Structure 1
Amino acid sequence: MQQLADKVIFLTGGSMGIGFECAKAYAVAGAKVVIVASSQGSVEEAAKQLGNEHLGIVCDVSIASEVESAIYQTIEKYGRIDAIHNNAGIATPSKPLHETNDEEWHRLMDVNLKSVLLTTRFGFEALKKSQGCILNTSSLVGEIGQENHAAYTATKGGMNALTKSMALDYAPYKIRVNAVSPAGVWTSMLRKWKEEQDDPASIEKYLDNIHPLGYCPEGDVIADACVFLLSDKARFITGTVLPVSGGAELGYKSVR
């Protein structure tokens, strides 16, 4: 039996990286996937790869009117929303807090956190009807920190706290709220970060070594966990920030 059979999943940042891996996994699990992202080209290509029963919507998730329209289009097409996966996010700039300018700070907050506010605001009634769920893509750095990424880690720490508070607020409506927390995952965003570092050639070895399981994974390992959290198999799990990290948060270890 397909774990997500006939569920309608509204997926932000779903056209590339972890998001597109999730989109593919949701489709294989039987869901109708609505891919929401800001790049028209990548949205069209991702939707084309998934097939005609799925939907791609170009949307800036930090703009209220665009999110409201995307939610409306989803309900207009499918009649329901069973899950909202807030996956859209940016990680740059790579710099300490005092070097972060106002524009960079606000853009990180808008894309990584305000987007959750907006999808919840406009999607709440649909989720209440379906007794659906919300899934947030966080990061291990929201718990343990990361050098030269203060603003980014602040958004992910905020997302972790937000996930738990939302779980309490929406439990009376039988809406579950969880987050998935990767460590390193090879995506276009991570590869961009690698190129911003002083010694890009050493980064791949570093990323392998921070994971006790011995390698930095591709996004499919995150997608598998997300399928579970959105499925009825996780029906009694809410308020959880699930590490999918290869054990990167455990103990002291050398990363050389």
Structure 2
Amino acid sequence: MLLLADKVVFLTGGTEGIGFECAKVYQQAGASLCIISNDPGSISYAKSRLGSGIVEFVLADVANSDQVKNAIEQCLDVFGKIDVIHNNAGISSPSKALHDTTQLEWEMLFAVNVSGIYYTTLHGIDALKKSGGNILNTGSLVGEIGQEIHAAYTATKGAVNSLTKSMALDYAPFGIRVNAVAPAGVITPLLRSWSQQQPDPESAAEYLANIHALGYCPEGDVIADACLFLISDMARFVTGCILPVSGGAELGYKKMYSKQKQVYDL
């Protein structure tokens, strides 16, 4: 039996990286998808790769309330309902200490990573109340453990964790579950860009393998499988959970960090 048969998933940032891996897994599990991206090029790429499944693409910026509202309405016009909102869109730059972060960089990080969740909830909660659906937020391990030279980013992911728990309490009376997935390092275009911002980019790959207790940095499909569980009925009694899919990175992070003697982030 397909885990997401007859389900409609509204997925932000679903055309590359973890989001695209989620789109593939959700489609294989039987879901209809409404995928939101602000990048026309990545939308074209995703269209060519997702094949013949039921997929609607919307060009929209999650940091813009009106565009999110229009995207929700378009999804409802096409599919008639929304069962899952997966807030995956996010940015990580800049890789800087707080005092080196510009006001524009700070505001952009919060606009995408935090306000994006606010806007999808603001405009999509009524649809979820009707469907008895659920919300999944893509967080990060660093929202729990912190991260050097990435203060603004970790602040947004800490906010995602707190939002997830508060939203879970607020929407439980409606039967709406709210959870988050918290990866550590994952090989994506975003991570490759991150690696180039580090003090020693050539050592980044070795570092990313070593921080995970399981000994390697995974591809996005590892995270997508965990996301599928959280949005499916298999997790029907799970809410307010920040699920680490981290290969045990948090268990040896401080020890490994001191051995590296470099300044890196997850």
Q: Which TM-score applies when normalising by structure 1?
A: 0.98
What secondary structure, in the 3-state scheme, does the structure 2 residue paired with 1:15 have?
A: coil
CA displacement at 1:253 relative to structure 2 = 3.6
Identity of aligned residues (%): 61
- Which residue does the alignment assign to 2:20? 20
Q: What does 1:194-233 align with in structure 2 at a 5 Å threshold?
A: 194-233=195-234
- Which residue does the alignment assign to 2:97? 96
- Which residue does the alignment assign to 2:45? 45
Q: What does 1:1-256 align with in structure 2 at a 5 Å threshold?
A: 1-52=1-52, 53-251=54-252, 253-255=255-257, 256=260
Q: Report the Cα distance in structure 2 between the residues aligned to 1:22 and 1:234, rounded to whole angstroms.
A: 16
Q: Report the Cα distance in structure 2 between the residues aligned to 1:122 and 1:115, rounded to whole angstroms.
A: 11
CA displacement at 1:33 relative to structure 2 = 1.2
Runs of 5+ unmatched residues, structure 1: none
Amino acid at match of 1:85: H
Q: Report the Cα distance in structure 1 between the residues aligned to 2:92 and 2:82, rounded to whole angstroms.
A: 28
Q: Report the Cα distance in structure 1 between the residues aligned to 2:69 and 2:63, rounded to whole angstroms.
A: 11
Q: Count residues in correspondence.
A: 256
Q: Report the Cα distance in structure 2 between the residues aligned to 1:29 and 1:199, rounded to whole angstroms.
A: 40
Q: Report the Cα distance in structure 1 between the residues aligned to 2:250 and 2:94, rounded to whole angstroms.
A: 23
- Greater than 3 Å deviation, 4+ residue runs: none
Q: Report the Cα distance in structure 2 between the residues aligned to 1:24 and 1:198, rounded to whole angstroms.
A: 34
Q: Report the Cα distance in structure 2 between the residues aligned to 1:194 and 1:177, rounded to whole angstroms.
A: 31
Q: Which TM-score applies when normalising by structure 2?
A: 0.94
What secondary structure, in the 3-state scheme, does the structure 2 residue paired with 1:136 have?
A: strand
CA displacement at 1:34 relative to structure 2 = 1.2
Runs of 5+ unmatched residues, structure 2: 261-266
Q: Report the Cα distance in structure 1 between the residues aligned to 2:206 and 2:99, rounded to whole angstroms.
A: 29
CA displacement at 1:10 relative to structure 2 = 0.4
Answer with 44-53 or 8-17: which moved more: 44-53
Amino acid at match of 2:193: K
Alpha-carbon contact 1:180-1:241 (below 8 Å) kept = yes
- Which residue does the alignment assign to 2:263? none
CA displacement at 1:196 relative to structure 2 = 1.1
Please provide the CA RMSD for this pair. 1.0
Q: Report the Cα distance in structure 2 between the residues aligned to 1:66 and 1:157, rounded to whole angstroms.
A: 25
What secondary structure, in the 3-state scheme, does the structure 2 residue paired with 1:216 have?
A: coil
After superposition, what is the alpha-carbon deviation per residue over 1:57-104, rounded to whole angstroms, capped at 9, x for unaligned? 100001011000000000000000000000000000011000111100
Alpha-carbon contact 1:90-1:108 (below 8 Å) kept = yes
